[in-house]
Amino acid sequence: MLLRKVIFLFLLVFIISVFAQRKKRDTVYIYEKVIVYDTIYLEKAVRLKPGNLMFSSLEIQEKEIKNIQQNTNKEELEELVKKNSNNKFQFGIQAGIGFKKASWAENLSDKNLQFGQNLGIWISKSIINPNFHLMLSASISRWNSTFDLDANKEETYLDGFYFSEDDQPLLFQRFNNKHFEYVLQLKAVYEWRNFRPFVGFLANKNVYKMQFLVPENNVLNKLDDFKSNQINFGFSFGLQYRVFKRFLVEAEYQHYKIRNLSLKNSSFDFDIFKTNNTFVERKISLGISYFISK
Q: pLDDT, tens digit, for every residue of 26-49?
A: 566 666 666 666 666 666 666 666
**Per-residue pLDDT at 217:** 84
Query: Among the listed ranges 5-14, 48-57, 132-141, which one has the minimum average pLDDT value?
Result: 48-57
pLDDT over threshold 60, residue 149 = yes
pLDDT over threshold 60, residue 86 = no
pTM above 0.75, yes or no: no
The pLDDT of 215-238, averaged and rounded, is 89
Q: Which of 135, 165, 170, 166 is nearest to 240 (CA)?
A: 135
Q: pLDDT, tens digit, for every residue of 93-146?
A: 999 999 999 888 877 777 889 999 999 999 999 888 888 999 999 999 999 999
**Per-residue pLDDT at 234:** 95
**Chain-wide mean pLDDT for the chain?**
81
Q: pLDDT, tens digit, for every residue of 227-270?
A: 888 899 999 999 999 998 889 999 999 999 888 778 888 888 77
Give the whole-angstrom CA distance, residue 111 versus residue 70: 63
Q: pLDDT, tens digit, for every residue of 152-168?
A: 888 888 888 888 888 88
pLDDT over threshold 60, residue 72 = no
pLDDT over threshold 60, residue 87 = yes
